[in-house]
Amino acid sequence: MLDQGHGDGWTELLGREMARKNPIERRVDILHDQWTEFAENPDARLLAWQAHADETALIDAFYAKEIDEQATETPDVFLCLRTAFAHPSAHGYALRQELIDQYEAAKPGLERDGLDNSWQCPFAKGNDTDLHSLVRALVSFREHQGDDVGLLAVWLDADEVNDPQSYLLWLQRLIHETPAEIRFFVVAGRTDDAFVQLHAAEPVLVVAQPCDLDMPSALQELAQQAGTDTPGGQFRQLLVKLGTLLGQGDLGGALPLAQAAGMIATAQGWPHLAALVQMTLATGYTALARHLDAVQCYAEAERLGAESEQALTSNDQKEQDDQEGSRPYATRIRLQARFGQGAALIAHGAWAHAAQAYQQALPLAEALADLRAQLDCLRLASLCQERSGQLKHAWDLGMRGFSLGATMDDETRKSSTLPYLCEQLERLTAHADYAAHRAPLLQHCEQLLGPDWRPSSKGAA
């Protein structure tokens, strides 16, 4: 037993440590404690976090910390499954397939980091239910992580639930099939009593946990720490600190600041600035080769840009000129987010998905009447289709881009990436299906760009 003086020393040390943490980090610690209490309960299977709208971002931060090998503070392995709930008798199969797809996508990164990437999902048995198939896959995945890990924690974050009551019944069946080393958690609104009802029906297996993070006080503390009285000033300081920490590779320190800056932007009705936070965070993930996390950040930035567009469209502003100047800015955010998403997917080697991202960016570039951006959408989509082996799609998209380049005036064309597109198309003519196009293609390239149209090998995307 520690003597009183030593105990006081530890108390003082703990107090200093807590003081060093910002208010967002301290609230993430609260979630950590709530999770730990749940995880240490051998009978519990499902944690239903009851969160106010301004608390959900902190659950994201807790999850992001726990999947970061450098920042994690629990022995548990976390993963998130987002498949929509559509068919009660098949949902487990769908989640099992999502787990397989996620692992396959992560394999190159695991190999690059020198980690074991040999897990194979056990085959479903003929008499399996969807739940048996899912639980067997999760148990196998958990065992593959080794003896030194704790629980397998699965965040069930369904994109859509078409029948909430059937989903609750499905969850009830699931937790009765689940062994102690597998745990699930969901996030529910504080006014949503569905999971409270599930807890009442299953008081041992289900824990209904209010987050109780007092986010208004957190924002007030952040404002005081920022040393400025205006939300705009607070946001700018947080964004600068965020960029600094990301530049240092300190993702654990950056995530709470990103959440705080995002919450200030959301509270002030600035979705375009919340999008900027997400894109800044995405660059940090990219630098750490966490490309799928970057993709998620860019996707959220694009959603926030769309939210900003919608707000500007529906808001009856007196200054119409200001509105007309703002809407293109929101669309530009969406376009940049789509380009970022495509680049992150390319870095991950997901060429087909990257092609889709660039093709989805094209209407945004068209809305901005940005010919160079339109050309880049088509050029990059063509490149990704080529790399994924879809040569016909690659050729068709490339020729659309080439036709667009032909309509540009000389100044726009010279500052565009048309030469790189021409090189792509020339490369495609090496295939028999397009060999007959080689001579006329090269002739047109020279007519549009001059005899020295080929760019240097450096800088090609």
For the segment 358-368, what is each residue's pLDDT rounded down to a tens digit? 999 999 999 99
- Tokens found for residue 118: 């040999």
pLDDT at 263: 85
Task: Answer whether residue 17 shows pLDDT above 80.
Answer: no
The whole-model pTM stands at 0.64
Phi, psi of 386 (to 5 degrees): -60, -45
Residues 305 and 337 sit within 8 Å (Cβ to Cβ)? yes
Q: Select the more confidently predicted residue: 261 or 340.
A: 340
Residues 384 and 358 sit within 8 Å (Cβ to Cβ)? yes
Question: Which range scores top for mean pLDDT: 204-218, 382-396, 409-423?
Answer: 382-396
Q: Rounded CA gap, 327 and 311, in Å? A: 9
Task: Answer whether residue 65 shows pLDDT above 90.
Answer: no
Residues 297 and 279 sit within 8 Å (Cβ to Cβ)? yes
Task: Answer whether residue 458 shows pLDDT above 60.
Answer: no
Position 215 confidence tier, pLDDT thresholds 50, 70, 90 = confident
Mean pLDDT computed over 198-219: 90
CB atoms within 10 A of CB 253: 18
pLDDT at 456: 59
**What does 270-303 look like in DSSP terms, one character per residue?**
-HHHHHHHHHHHHHHHHHTT-HHHHHHHHHHHHH
Q: Rounded CA gap, 300 and 146, in Å? A: 34
Summarize pLDDT for 327-338 with one digit per residue, the tens.
677 889 999 999
pLDDT at 12: 46
Residues 141 and 152 sit within 8 Å (Cβ to Cβ)? yes
Residues 197 and 58 sit within 8 Å (Cβ to Cβ)? no
Q: Rounded CA gap, 394 and 143, in Å? A: 42
Mean pLDDT computed over 72-99: 92
H or E stretch including 79?
strand 77-81
pLDDT at 34: 97
In Å, how far are 300, 315, 331, 423 from 310, measured between CA atoms? 15, 8, 10, 39
Position 226 confidence tier, pLDDT thresholds 50, 70, 90 = low
Position 159 confidence tier, pLDDT thresholds 50, 70, 90 = confident
pLDDT at 15: 45
- Tokens found for residue 159: 């994109």
Listed residue (179, 227, 256) closest to 25, CA to CA: 256
Name residues whose C-beta falls within 8 Å of residue 111's C-beta, 6 or more positions apart in sequence: 117
Q: Which of 286-290, 335-339, 385-389 has the lowest mean pLDDT?
A: 286-290
pLDDT at 182: 97
Position 114 confidence tier, pLDDT thresholds 50, 70, 90 = confident
Summarize pLDDT for 245-280 with one digit per residue, the tens.
888 888 877 888 888 888 888 888 888 889 999 999
Q: Rounded CA gap, 234 and 268, in Å? A: 12
**Residue 290, helix vs strand vs coil:** coil
Q: Rounded CA gap, 58 and 81, in Å? A: 18
pLDDT at 239: 86
Task: Answer whether residue 323 shows pLDDT above 90.
Answer: no
Question: Which range scores top for mean pLDDT: 70-84, 155-169, 210-224, 388-402?
Answer: 388-402
Instruction: Please report the sign of the dihedral spanned by the C-alpha atoms of residue 32, residue 191, residue 86, residue 89.
Output: positive
CB atoms within 10 A of CB 236: 15
Residues 370 and 416 sit within 8 Å (Cβ to Cβ)? no
Which residue reads 């660039």 in tokens? 358
pLDDT at 111: 86
In Å, how far are 164, 421, 446 from 441, measured between CA atoms? 57, 11, 9
Q: Per DSSP, what are the bridge partners of residue 77? A: 152
Name residues whose C-beta falls within 8 Å of residue 174's C-beta, 6 or more positions apart in sequence: 46, 92, 131, 134, 135, 184
pLDDT at 55: 84
Position 61 confidence tier, pLDDT thresholds 50, 70, 90 = confident
Task: Answer whether residue 73 shows pLDDT above 50.
Answer: yes
For the chain, give the mean pLDDT: 85
Q: Select the more confidently predicted residue: 35 or 128.
A: 35
- Tokens found for residue 80: 């998130």
* pLDDT cut 90: percent of the chain above it: 51
- Tokens found for residue 214: 């007092």
